[in-house]
Structure 1
Amino acid sequence: MASIIRKIISTKKCPKAVAPYNQAIVADRTVYCSGVLGMELESLQLVEGGAAAQTEKALQHLTTLLNESGSSIDKVVKTTILLADMNDYGVVNDAYKRVFSSNFPARTCFAVNKLPLGAAVEIEAIALTGDVIQVSA
């Protein structure tokens, strides 16, 4: 049986992990990105402006993390969005649609009791690497 490579992704271009986890793991041709918060890179403080601003910043970090992993935002197959308040669903979707504008990935979005650092939103993703051919069923 052939070996599968498990590569740990750690980049200074994204906020460092705030707990015992890695920013992302590449297993074979799949990238598993840990939940990303809308934090300032240097201060590790949440951006001001609530859920909309935090979503934009989290998606910027996610895009960078995917690029550093050998993938890209257009190769995302699944996202999970965690919200501190489901009333933010609309503003989060507005920011999300500016990044994922077509051929949307599968997605789950739900409200949770509390997010790390008091964040309004956290986004995780699973993506592919290499050449990906988009087809529709």
Structure 2
Amino acid sequence: MEVLKFEKGPKAVGPYSSAVKVGNLIFFSGILPINPETGELVNDSVENATEQILKNLNTMLSEIGLSLKNVVKTTIFTVKLEEFSKINEVYQKYFESFTKDFPARSTVGVSSLPKGALVEMEFVVEA
């Protein structure tokens, strides 16, 4: 197992690694919608939160020569499951700019998330 460290993107908010590589798979821990430049949570809407998460992931992937087309599995956690269609619109827009083939995905409605976030996502990526 190799622990990956990123210069850009949000830092871990606890005792865990942002991502680990095992073989040709990279497992990203849950990414919150944190603006890495300000350290502030983007939480004004599920659309903006989703966009920030995908920007963060794309920034981290680009550091290691990959893109959203390398994502094979996404898990979405949201406290606003009733607004899933809004999350889905942003998600679709981001992935379509890299690939026509979407990764496998699960979505889970939860009662709360770390730091009071509206959305959190974790990813499995093929290197």
Give yes or no for TM over 0.5.
yes
Tell me, what secondary structure is at the counterpart of 1:31?
strand
Aligned residues: 124
Superimposed CA distance per residue, residues 42-62 of structure 1 (whole angstroms, 9 cap, x where no aligned partner): 332212532110100000001
- Provide the rounded CA distance (Å) in 2 between the counterparts of 1:50 and 1:11: 26
* Cα RMSD (Å): 1.3
- Provide the rounded CA distance (Å) in 1 between the counterparts of 2:69 and 2:52: 18
Identity of matched residues, %: 35
**Stretch moving more, 7-16 or 114-123:** 7-16
Instruction: Tell me whether 1:14 sits opposite 2:15 in the alignment.
Output: no
| Higher normalized contact order (CA 8 Å, seq sep 6+, divided by chain length) | 2
Give the superposition deviation at 1:66.
Answer: 2.1
Instruction: Tell me whether 1:91 sits opposite 2:89 in the alignment.
Output: no
Aligned partner of 1:118 in structure 2 is 116
Report the residue type matching 2:123 in the other structure. Answer: A
- Provide the rounded CA distance (Å) in 1 between the counterparts of 2:25 and 2:62: 13
Aligned partner of 1:135 in structure 2 is none
Aligned partner of 1:71 in structure 2 is 66
Tell me, what secondary structure is at the counterpart of 1:100?
helix
Report the residue type matching 1:66 in the other structure. Answer: L
**Stretch moving more, 75-84 or 6-15:** 6-15
- Provide the rounded CA distance (Å) in 2 between the counterparts of 1:88 and 1:63: 23
CA radius of gyration, larger in:
1
The change in CA–CA distance for 1:19 and 1:12 in structure 2 (over 3 A counts) is same
If the length of structure 2 is used for normalisation, what is the TM-score? 0.91
- Provide the rounded CA distance (Å) in 1 between the counterparts of 2:83 and 2:64: 29
- Provide the rounded CA distance (Å) in 2 between the counterparts of 1:110 and 1:56: 18
- Provide the rounded CA distance (Å) in 1 between the counterparts of 2:33 and 2:69: 20
If the length of structure 1 is used for normalisation, what is the TM-score? 0.85
Report the residue type matching 2:36 in the other structure. Answer: L
Counterpart of 1:109 (choices 99, 107, 110) is: 107
Which runs of 4 or more aligned residues in structure 1 lie more than 4 Å from their structure 2 counterparts after TM superposition?
Answer: none
Runs of 5+ unmatched residues, structure 2: none
Tell me, what secondary structure is at the counterpart of 2:9?
coil
- Provide the rounded CA distance (Å) in 2 between the counterparts of 1:29 and 1:70: 13
